[in-house]
Structure 1
Amino acid sequence: MEWSTLLCTERMRSGAGNRRIKTTDLRSEFEKDYHRIIGSASFRRLQDKTQVFPLDKSDFIRTRLTHSLEVSSLGKSLGQNIGENIINCRKDPGFTPKMKEDICHILQCAGLIHDIGNPPFGHFGENAIREWFIKNLPCMTYQDEPVERMLTPQMKADFYHFEGNAQALRLVTKLHYLVDEYGMNLTYALLNTIVKYPVPSTKISIHSGNIKEKKMGYYYADQDIFEAVSTATGAKNNRHPLTYILEAADDLAYKTADIEDAFVKGFLSFHELSRELEKLQKENPEADFQTLDKLKSLYERGIEKKVSHPESYAVKNWIVRIQGYLISCATFGFTSHYEEIMAGTFKHDLFYGSFGGRLMDLLGDIAYRYVFTSTAIYKMEVTESVILDFLMDKMVHAVLYYDTDEMLDPIDSRVVSFISDNYKNAYKHQAEGKSEAEKLYLRLLLVTDYVCGMTDSYAKRLYQEMNGLI
């Protein structure tokens, strides 16, 4: 892969950004992407989608919006570090300072939209939608024929492996109706960067050891877009090199933020965190970053400064310190595997094999044990499951015969009317000339499109309204 093609400025709408038109606009194509994203309603909706604590009333807890801003910032910082290293160490004679600037802008944009397709209620929302299809699709019939028999293996697998990452590509290219059916009409370099898994749902292989096959990256309905984008950039069926950096920024952001949020919410104490870090430090005495020592010294500094809550002072400042350390780890991970990444043969994340990777694993494990498996979270997830199951039941039943010769019953027609015209227009555009089976598949996608576009509070409110609870 070559940077000259990887940083492709082409867009889906032909001519946009490619013709030499006289203009006073001095922004690069990737800077234009940034302003398209910031001004979009889809991006704004992230402020009411929560990371870990859905429907939480606290103004401290991170939403998808604040998380995305953090990923955007970390991605840009990593881009600067890595770009500077490529230039200074002369890793690639074709890499220029302008390219460094471009990758920073792309990563800044990619951070903003990497979660834009996720449904309400965090990652649990993805699981709930996936499980709904696993439970219900095999029992579903259409005109007395089993739906499973009508759909192709890839169509079925799209629902059984439903994935927010694939939904992000779909949203920004088809569902966000700004001017026409091309969505936000973002650059191909940016679109390719947000495809974390460049494989369809039928090629997932979680045991292959190759990170790119862990989940699906695009739906059958959007395969043409993926192929056009990945061909134009030259990445083809490989991960775009910037995807590794985006993923590192995402992992770094949420794993450190989950610890801070868990501490603030009272799920994790200073002493419990100290105990976890003590074990890690004993197992890795040769580590270049002494995690427990840093936390203790910050606590002592808090005592010296006579802050009111030295534990809080220590934990929050420790998070900042380890973020800086992990940025260095990710930078080294990219630059030390540069040739493999550019050849498309690197199978791991940027923290692989380093102490930073072991620290990241511990942070994820702490969040799982202290937060995600807590009674408080389980109670929230039971509520969220009831909401999403109800909405999926009603929506799928309503759209099954939508846009067919069969008359919808009065309630189904009303339920269909709730769905955004943008989503229905996108469906009609894609359904033109398609077979009955493909149209059915697209109608099921219309439901996931609508549900994924909901915020946490809207999903809850709609559930209450449809059940006469308001």
Structure 2
Amino acid sequence: MEWNRLLCQKRIRQSSHSAADSRIKDGFDLRNEFEKDYHRIIGSASFRRLQDKTQVFPLDQSDFIRTRLTHSLEVASFGKSLGHNIGENILASHKDSSFTPQMKEDICHILECAGLIHDIGNPPFGHFGEEAIRDWFAQNLPKLQFFDTPVSELLSPQMYQDLIHFEGNAQALRLVTKLHYLVDEHGMNLTFALLNTIIKYPISSTDVRPDSENFLEHKIGYYLAEQPIFETIVSETGCGHHRHPLTFILEAADDLAYKTADIEDGFVKGFFSYRTLFEELQHLEQQFPDSSFPGSRALESLYRRGQKKEVRNPESYAVKNWIIQIQGFLIQCATQGFTMHYTDIMNGTYAHDLYYETAGCHLMDFLGDVAFRYVFSSSQIYQMEMRESVILNFLLDQFVQAALYYDTDQSLGTIDKRYLSLISDNYKTAYRYHSRECSPEEKLYLRLLLVTDYICGMTDSYALRLYKELNLMI
């Protein structure tokens, strides 16, 4: 792979020459293509909706707990910082004679934009929402009937697998290339370099192997509906079916952001204490005595500093400042990971994350383990997820049944019409456009995606409110 192609500035719809273009050439708009991507994202309704999609604690009333919006801003910030560090390292070490300072700047812009949209396709209620949608299709597709024929017999293998392997990353690609119907059918019409960066798993649903040693086969990267767009993107960037190098950096920024945030949010919500974290760090240090990460001594030193400064809560002061310390440490580790494996990444043969074989590897595992044991396995989270499952199952039950015979010769019932009227006109316009030349089976598949499009576009509070209203729970 070569940087001059990887940083492709082309779009699905190229700009036409007009009077506006003349003003741009005269110096009224000096932005490059990736800076234009940034403004398209910031101005979109899909991005704004992230403010009401919670990262871990849906419908939480605290103004401290992170939303998808604040998480995305953090990922954008970490991604840009990593891009700067890695770009500078490539230049300073002369790893690649074709790499230029302008390429470093472009990388920073792309990663910032990718951070903003990497979760834009996620449904309400965090990652549990993805699991709930997958479970619903796995349980209900075999039972659905369409004109007395099982839906599972009408769908192709890839259509069927798309639904039972529903994935927020694949939904993000669908949303930004089709569903954000503002100007035309091309969605936000973002650059190919940016689109390729957000494709974490460059495989179809029929190639998913959750237990594979190759982590790139663990999840779906795109739906059959977006396969032509996927092929165009990876052809223009030269990635083929390899992961784009910037995707490794985006993933490292995402992992860094959510794993440290889960610790901070979990501490603030009272799932574990300063003492618990201190003792867990001591145990980690006993397992890996030669590790260089900021550990229990760093945490205790910050606690004492907080006491010396006479802060109101030295334990909170210590935990939050320790998190800042390890974020800086992990940025260094991810930078090292990319530069250490630069050749394999550029050849498309690297099959690990950027923390692998760095001093941050055990620390990242530790953060995830602590969050899982103290937060995600708690009865409070389990009860919350059960409520969310009831909401999503109800919405899928109603809207899938209503959408089955939409756009067919079958007349719809009054209630089905009411349900369909709630679906955004943008989504229905996109469906009508992209289903024009499709077979009945393909249209059925696209109608099922229309339902997931609508549900994924919901915020947490809207999904809850709609559930209550439809159940007459006013």
The TM-score, its normalising length taken from structure 1, stands at: 0.99
SS of the residue corresponding to residue 473 of structure 2 reads coil
1:224 aligns to what? Answer: 228
1:52 aligns to what? Answer: 56
Q: How does 1:272-351 map to 2 (within 5 A)?
A: 272-351=276-355
Moved more, 332-341 or 208-217: 208-217
1:6 aligns to what? Answer: 6
Q: Is the 8 A contact 1:9 1:17 kept in 2?
A: no
Mapped to 2, the partners of 1:14 and 1:300 lie a distance apart of 58
Shift of 1:353: 2.1
Aligned residues: 470
Q: Is the 8 A contact 1:11 1:17 kept in 2?
A: no
Task: State yes or no: 1:408 paired with 2:412.
Answer: yes
Specify which of 103, 107, 111 is matched with residue 103 of structure 1.
107
Deviation sequence 1:101-144 (CA, Å, 0-9, x none): 00000000000000000000000000000000011000111001
Shift of 1:148: 0.5
Mapped to 2, the partners of 1:395 and 1:377 lie a distance apart of 27
Mapped to 1, the partners of 2:229 and 2:17 lie a distance apart of 18
2:360 aligns to what? Answer: 356
1:136 aligns to what? Answer: 140
Specify which of 261, 268, 275 is matched with residue 264 of structure 1.
268
Mapped to 2, the partners of 1:387 and 1:206 lie a distance apart of 27
Shift of 1:291: 1.1
In structure 2, give the amino acid aligned to 1:94: S
Q: Is the 8 A contact 2:337 2:354 kept in 1?
A: yes
Q: Is the 8 A contact 2:336 2:358 kept in 1?
A: no
Shift of 1:17: 10
2:39 aligns to what? Answer: 35
Mapped to 1, the partners of 2:202 and 2:141 lie a distance apart of 25
1:22 aligns to what? Answer: 25
2:81 aligns to what? Answer: 77
Mapped to 1, the partners of 2:11 and 2:404 lie a distance apart of 34
In structure 2, give the amino acid aligned to 1:456: D
In structure 1, give the amino acid aligned to 2:58: P
Q: Which runs of 5+ in 2 are unaligned?
A: none
SS of the residue corresponding to residue 360 of structure 2 reads helix
Task: State yes or no: 1:440 paired with 2:444.
Answer: yes
Shift of 1:288: 1.8
1:429 aligns to what? Answer: 433
Q: Is the 8 A contact 1:210 1:347 kept in 2?
A: yes
SS of the residue corresponding to residue 78 of structure 1 reads helix
SS of the residue corresponding to residue 25 of structure 2 reads coil
2:70 aligns to what? Answer: 66
Shift of 1:365: 0.9
1:208 aligns to what? Answer: 212
1:466 aligns to what? Answer: 470
In structure 2, give the amino acid aligned to 1:432: R
Shift of 1:16: 6.0
Moved more, 279-288 or 184-193: 279-288
Q: Is the 8 A contact 1:128 1:388 kept in 2?
A: yes
Task: State yes or no: 1:378 paired with 2:378.
Answer: no
The TM-score, its normalising length taken from structure 2, stands at: 0.98
Q: Which runs of 5+ in 1 are unaligned?
A: none
Task: State yes or no: 1:156 paired with 2:160.
Answer: yes
SS of the residue corresponding to residue 22 of structure 1 reads helix
Q: Is the 8 A contact 1:17 1:29 kept in 2?
A: no
Q: Is the 8 A contact 2:202 2:241 kept in 1?
A: yes
1:388 aligns to what? Answer: 392
Q: How does 1:159-198 map to 2 (within 5 A)?
A: 159-198=163-202
Mapped to 2, the partners of 1:262 and 1:244 lie a distance apart of 27
Q: Is the 8 A contact 1:281 1:290 kept in 2?
A: no
Deviation sequence 1:72-119 (CA, Å, 0-9, x none): 000000000000000000000000000000000000000000000000
Q: Which runs of 4+ in 1 moved over 4 A?
A: 16-21
SS of the residue corresponding to residue 355 of structure 1 reads coil
